[in-house]
Amino acid sequence: MINRVVLVGRLTRDPELRSTGSGISVASFTMAVNRQFTNAQGERQADFVNCVIWRKAAENFVNFTDKGSLVAVEGRLQTRSYDNADGQRVFVTEVVVDNFSLLESKSQADARRREGGGGFNQNQSQQTSNYSAQNNTQHQTNNDSQSFTDPFADSGNTIDISDDDLPF
């Protein structure tokens, strides 16, 4: 059986750090993850996924992220249930995070906080999803102005490799 989840998205609020009765740290947060397609109006919708992370990873996550942070998480999907104050059974489905990656530099995060107050909005998520295409166009434009050097560009020099140099 396989139960693996990999998500890339932005935090919808600051993560909440708590500790269990035995002192184990646990943080919960919600990620907005864009869908791959647009609706009938041409707008990209998002899914809001509840996540939980434990122990030292939870403390690190809370220290380095806030509302609007672009992160990738890897973990497993878990469903649990409990009885609420009214005696009704409540089911909760969430991603239990094993690993996470911060997908924006500190300077990008600081700029996002200055410009938008750290908040998440649809324009930011669309900008992120279009980053790759814009980045490629920017590199092509920069090639003309000599500010971007392609390390794999043909410099006109031939590479002399004999069959004895190859490992196979």
pLDDT at residue 156 above 70?
A: no
Domains and CATH numbers, the chain: 5-143 (2.40.50.140)
- pLDDT of 115 reads 80
Cβ contacts of 9 within 8 Å, gap of 6 or more: 31, 32, 33, 34, 46, 49, 70, 71, 125
pLDDT tens track for 15-45:
999 999 999 999 999 999 999 988 889 888 9
Residue 150 pLDDT grade (very low, low, confident, very high; cuts 50, 70, 90):
low
Residue 125 pLDDT grade (very low, low, confident, very high; cuts 50, 70, 90):
very low
pLDDT at residue 116 above 90?
A: no
